[in-house]
Amino acid sequence: MPQPTMPRPALTATVPRQLVHRAAVAETFLTDWERTGPDRFALFAQWPRAHQLHVSPDRSAYEPLLVAETVRQCGALLAHAEYDAPFDHCFVLKELRLTTHPEHLAVGAVPAEPALDVTVSDVRHRAGRPTALRYDTDVRLGGERVATAHIAVSWISESVYRRLRGGRTPATVSALPLPPALPAAAVDRALPADVVLAPPDRSGRWQLRVDTAHPVFFDHPLDHVPGMLLLEAARQAARVRAVGPTGGESFRAAFHQYAELDRPTWIEVTDETGTGLEVRGIQGGSTVFECAVGAAER
């Protein structure tokens, strides 16, 4: 995708946090957007130089999942602001593919200000209103491509969502007690609270640790395990297995069904090579999530 050519607007604030489904302004990374053509948009963001989860422990590099979260926020914003998704509708992340170029993700002397060129496609309608879309994103910093991504997302009314969830709400469902955690250093985290994998019960399989008090994964109450937590579990599995130079720079994920808070979720490596691995999340006998994690192409 070509780089956006329009002048970059002056940054004064983040976009309204409701547009990106965040409760905390500190977790809202987008700062502005504009339409540049039919189903094409330029979005702008700011990344902090320090972050509990999305900056490396030594504060030298931005994590690939910061890019993933920023691109996820693009879809929510565009759905509401450009495709008439009501604010009371519930969003479902279906698919996420991300390739990053870590050599361009170093933390600098000031917060990074990426520009994102987004092309929307496959807009689905029901009763004359959009209900789903896909979008491709080219992420650049200082003119350098730092990532490309593809996401598929849909949204449904709260009443339909509640029927699908069978009465499950943040008030009626509690997460399981937290199992012990792997050492933080084993998954390249500074804080034990950010470790999402328990010690393995067998080689290549870990129970997911779901801490609903975590300020990033559970920025607001949820009745299911969020997709970004599942992606982090895949990332940590790659770090444990030391796949690629940094343990995961590309992700190809599919989300098949809701991962419930009150049932154990197992993160399992199903295939592994020297440069990548296949991970799936399992509840009972069902696969709720699959992700291929690998080293980015050079």
How much is the pLDDT for 10? 59
Going from the N-terminus, what domains does the chain have, and what CATH number goes with each? 17-162 (3.10.129.10), 167-294 (3.10.129.10)
Q: Which two tokens stand for residue 73?
A: 């926020």
CA-atom Rg of the chain in angstroms: 18
Cα–Cα dist 164/94, whole Å: 16
Closest CA to 105 of 7, 240, 294, 248: 248
Residue type, 186: A
Alpha carbon separation from 170 to 89, 167, 213, 260 (Å, rounded): 16, 10, 12, 11
How much is the pLDDT for 241? 85
217-234: per-residue pLDDT in tens?
999 999 999 999 999 999
71-126: per-residue pLDDT in tens?
999 999 999 999 999 999 999 999 999 999 999 999 999 999 999 999 999 999 99
Cα–Cα dist 201/290, whole Å: 20
Print pLDDT tens along the chain (298 aa): 444 444 555 556 899 999 999 999 999 999 999 999 999 999 999 999 999 999 998 999 999 999 999 999 999 999 999 999 999 999 999 999 999 999 999 999 999 999 999 999 999 999 999 999 999 999 999 989 999 999 999 999 999 999 999 999 999 999 999 999 999 999 989 999 999 999 999 999 999 999 999 999 999 999 999 999 999 999 999 999 875 545 558 999 999 999 999 999 999 999 988 788 999 999 998 999 999 999 755 4
How much is the pLDDT for 6? 46
How much is the pLDDT for 3? 46
* Residue reference for tokens 């030391």: 242
Alpha carbon separation from 87 to 24, 155, 164, 212, 290 (Å, rounded): 17, 10, 19, 23, 29
Cα–Cα dist 118/138, whole Å: 7
Q: What does the chain look like in DSSP terms, one character per residue? A: -PPP-SPPPPP-SPPPGGGGT-S-GGG--EEEEEEEETTEEEEEE-B-S--TTTB-TTSSBB-HHHHHHHHHHHHHHHHHHHS---TT-EEEEEEEEEEE-GGG-B--SS-B--EEEEEEEEEEEETTEEEEEEEEEEEEETTEEEEEEEEEEEEE-HHHHHHHHTT--TTT--PPPPPP---GGGGT-S-GGG--BPPPSBTTEEEBP--TT-TTTTSS--SB--HHHHHHHHHHHHHHHT-TTTS-SEEEEEE-SPPBTTS--EEEEEEE-SSEEEEEEEETTEEEEEEEEEPPP-
Cα–Cα dist 111/42, whole Å: 19
